[in-house]
Amino acid sequence: MIKRKLTVADFFCGAGGFSEGFSQKGFDVVFALDNWQPAITTHKFNHPNCRTLKMNILDLDTPEKIGHYVPDVDVIIGGPPCVSFSGSNKAGKADKALGIKLIEAYLRIILWKLKNGNLKYWVLENVPNAGKYIKDVYSWKDLNLPGKGPNLVFEEKGILNAADFNSPQARKRFFGGKVPLPEPHLINPDNFNTLQNVLNSLTNPLSKKRKEKIKDPNYDLIIESSLLTDHFYDTRIAEYEWRRAKRQKEDHGYMGKMAFPENTNRPSRTIMATRSASTRESIILNATNDEGKHLGYRLPTIREISSLMSFPISYQFNVSGEGSKYRLVGNAVSVKLSSAIAESILLKEGIEIRNNLGLNNIRKTIYDLTDSKRLIKAQKNKKYNSRFSRHIPYLKIKGFRVELTNEDSDFKKGIIKWSCILHRGVGKNTDKCYSDECDIATIVKDIPNFNKFKKDIKSNFGSINISHLRLHDSHIYVNSKSISPHGVLDLMRKIIDKHFVDESNYISNNSKQINIDRELIPTKIIAGLYICDYFVKRLRTTP
């Protein structure tokens, strides 16, 4: 049985989530490396006895450099940057070259230390998609080491979800290496740690009646309210931001529906590294005062997302700016999951498991966001080549949707063209046809009360006198006085709802008036196609 503490080196250490999990189980984190100064500063602040090094891991490209900078340790941990492999980066099609290069640089250090040091365990963390690009075995030559040596073998590979280890965040990550991967602690979803638990423990950040004591939602830790950093400040967001996020979540063109605002009675969704308020990935909460009055919507505070990542409430993010703090937290390894991996190593070694928060300070960072005043983000004009592709809001039936788009424009030549497209399908590669390819006049004759519908269209759209270019201007310029594409789509939906209530009615497409392989098409979709086509054909080609 090993009597001493097992030592750890943490590469791509970031804020120190991986280190913190191992430290809590009694490991001695002796070395940490990162290429970003705020990460080094934060890691050193929370783990003052660890030697930190600001360096690009790609510079450790020879055994001599590895031997000079990297100490001999029992365990090496690391999570190479995941941006190359993330599914949210260019829909998962981003260039993987740099990501693979960083992974191989990390594995090179591990293989050298396995042959020339005391290394017993090692683990690599990344997004699930990265697992597709990581081989089971790397040769000495693969990792560009001189001479001859053994292979590096991934003895374990798997996808672990932080929520299964009592973290209040559903965060799936790939883990692999020479490490006993832990079994999930939680099986019953009713026992999961929830977002609401975090909100209740930290209390309302907009409250003017702050509690004297704050209980950590993840640990047996209570601190004075005055010591809780990065929480009691205003994170409310502009209306245009939350409306955009709401549409992306509830009415995305080809992806499923998400809750708006967040469902707090379950673990939160994955924390991202970028602070965003207008995307599908945004975590948006209700903003209320002490009396429960609705004050709009807000983003989580830095302290809330750090607790979702299962950092202790005394952990400090020693960098100025909310954006940098968000990046530190969002790129971290879930502390609870890190602790579970550390515990699995102790069990295999037969070492007594100790639970220790592992922090040597409860001092406040000088960059505390408490009571800071944020300006509500002003909406800005878009770039001239800004594309627009939106379907008639909340009108998706059996995979069908009608879209207004400027995708066929030639922005370089200054030629703007708006089109109406009928889509069928839930993925990006949907069946589609342009309205001018459809025999709308033939099929709409079967629509009940069509004459009344047509009359209503003319009364609402007949007076709109606008060109393709001016509609584009209203899309890109915030203060444009012309009707916007969103306004057009909202009006279309209003007219359709006035005349068609039942979504179960269908029109026959037996003679293929519409060039999509379906015999029946929802009546409301046909109505949407007709009204969108009517509008597009009324747009002037002259300015």
Q: What is the 3-state secondary structure (H, E, C) of 147-203?
A: CCCCCEECCEEEEEEHHHHCCCECCEEEEEEECCCCCCCCCCHHHCCCHHHHHHHHC
Cα 451 to Cα 7: distance, rounded to the nearest angstrom: 79
How many other β-carbons are positioned within 10 Å of the β-carbon of residue 18?
A: 29
What percent of the chain lies above the pLDDT cut of 90? 74
CA torsion through residues 513, 516, 517, 522, sign: negative
Residues 482-493 pLDDT 10s: 899 999 999 999
- Kindly compute the dihedral angle of the four CA atoms of residues 271, 277, 283, 288, in this order, to the nearest 10 degrees: 140
Sequential DSSP letters for 77-127: EE----TTT-TTSGGGTS--HHHHHHHHHHHHHHHHHHHHS---EEEEEE-
pLDDT at 481: 87
- Residues 70, 113 contacting (CB under 8 angstroms): yes
Give the DSSP letter of residue 371: T
- Residues 499, 456 contacting (CB under 8 angstroms): yes
3-class SS string, 256-307: CCCCCCCCCCCCECCCCCCCCCCCCCCCCEEEECCCCCEEEEECCCHHHHHH
- How far CA 421 is from CA of 73, 215, 300, 495, in Å, comes to 60, 54, 38, 19
Does the pTM exceed 0.85?
A: yes
Annotated active-site residue in 13, 82, 438, 532: 82
pLDDT at 542: 86
Cα 327 to Cα 439: distance, rounded to the nearest angstrom: 52
Low-confidence ranges of the chain (pLDDT < 50): 1, 87-92, 360
| Bridging pattern class, strands 7-11 and 75-78 | parallel
| Burial grade of 442 (CB within 10 A; 0-12, 13-18, 19 or more) | exposed
Number of H helices, E strands in the chain: 14, 19
Domains of the chain: 7-189+321-349 (3.40.50.150), 195-307 (no CATH), 389-538 (no CATH)
Residue 506 has which token pair?
């269908």
pLDDT at 88: 46
532 a catalytic residue = no
